[in-house]
Amino acid sequence: MNTETVTGTSVEILRYAAFTSDPAGGNPAGVVLDAAPLDEAEMLAVAAGVGYSETAFITAGDEASRRFRLRFFSPLAEVAFCGHATVATAVALAERLGPGEMMFDTPVGEIRVATAVDGAGAVRATLTSAPTRSRPAEDAELDAALAALGWAREDLDPSLPPHVAFGGNEHLVVAAGSRARLADLTYDFDALADVMRSHGWTTVQLVWRENELLFHARDPFPVGGVVEDPATGAAAAALGGYLRTIGQVRRAAISIRQGEDMGRPSDLLIDVDPADARVRVTGQAVVMP
């Protein structure tokens, strides 16, 4: 952790790696547990200084009821919801208040998180997403995204049609036909950012299905000023909602392996109930040195 001064206000910033048990893996997130003195411009300045894809800020809360108001900022703008920063914040609070349930009031509504300590003493957090939804991607928006990615329609998995899915944010979901296609990701940063801004997408969720219980994922995030996210909880929730919508949920627990091609492997577990539009996303978070 460290303390920084923003326009005369000292702010303690915690740094966690989410969706991993190894500080060298996962997705780094900044966490500010007391952001009440900060305005939007100051929170954005802190997030830009931290430099991670997102930093979470608790702007109000009550420890007795374990209910907190939570906002998220990338280095460039406020983000409506961020799964990995939510998990990091929940773990940070559980380490201080003890495990149990907590509620976060976010720009996308109430997000309930359950935290528990496993036999090795590690804290795991399970967030319940906002209700998910998914629709087929339109030809024009898909073609623009594929052109920016340098992908062709022939590169895609025909059994997993491209969709735009919501799990707190909008994400374009595109399934690669092979692991090699997913691994070869060199895209036009500015072009993809322009496409995403025009459609209001937060990330592009690129996946490859190894089997019905294991997906590999990569998430370009140029609209946040980041080439790629090594773990994306909101996109994981959106993927669960997408699979529910297209009728391809065979079992409740699905593993997502992300960040491997970046050298920051991450493990996310999603629990999808065919009768519930919400998706539960589980992972660990650990303090970064």
CATH of the domain at 7: 3.10.310.10
Question: What is the reported pTM?
Answer: 0.93
275 and 170 share a domain? Answer: yes
Residue type, 26: G
pLDDT at residue 145 in the model: 98
Q: Any idea what DSSP says for residue 200?
A: T
161 and 260 share a domain? Answer: yes
Domain that holds residue 219: 133-287
Q: Which residues of the chain have pLDDT under 70?
A: 1-8, 250-252
In degrees rounded to 5, what are phi and psi of residue 134? -155, 145
**Close Cβ partners of 278 (under 8 Å, ≥ 6 residues apart):** 128, 129, 130, 131, 132
- Give the end of a domain, one of 47, 80, 115: 115
pLDDT at residue 249 in the model: 82
| Tokens, residue 9 | 């206000």
Say which residue the tokens 């898909």 belong to: 142
Each residue's pLDDT tens digit, 28-78:
999 999 999 999 999 999 999 999 999 999 999 999 999 999 999 999 999
Q: Taking the CA atoms of 188, 79, 255 and 131 in sequence, report the sign of the dihedral they define.
A: negative
47 and 139 share a domain? Answer: no
| Cα gap 245→217, rounded to integer Å | 19
Does residue 104 sit within a domain?
Answer: yes
Q: Any idea what DSSP says for residue 91?
A: H
How many structural domains is the chain composed of? 2
pLDDT at residue 18 in the model: 98
Cα distances (Å, whole numbers) of residue 150 to 132, 144, 202, 213: 29, 10, 19, 28
| Tokens, residue 148 | 């920016």
98 and 161 share a domain? Answer: no
Does residue 139 sit within a domain?
Answer: yes
